[in-house]
Amino acid sequence: LRPTPKLNTNHRKVMDLFHDWKVLMLTMRDADSGIVSPMVTRRGAMIRESTGPILTFLRYNMWEEARGILEYFHNAILLTGEIREYFPMDLDFAGITNANDYSAIKVPDSDLASWVVLQHFWYFRATLDAKYIKTRQPFLLHLLQKQKRGKGTLMRFSGHENFMRSVFDLDINAMS
pLDDT at 33: 80
- The set of residues, in sequence order, having a beta carbon less than 8 Å from that of 126 and lying 6+ positions away, is 58, 59, 63, 66
C-alpha dist (Å) from residue 42 to 119, 148, 174: 21, 27, 29
Interval 128-161: pLDDT, tens = 999 999 999 999 999 988 887 666 655 555 555 4
Residues 36, 107: Cα–Cα separation, whole Å = 23
pLDDT at 72: 94
Residues 107, 146: Cα–Cα separation, whole Å = 6
Residues 31, 77: Cα–Cα separation, whole Å = 20
Residues 126, 54: Cα–Cα separation, whole Å = 11
pLDDT at 164: 46
- Listed as ranges, residues in the chain with pLDDT below 50 are 161-168, 176
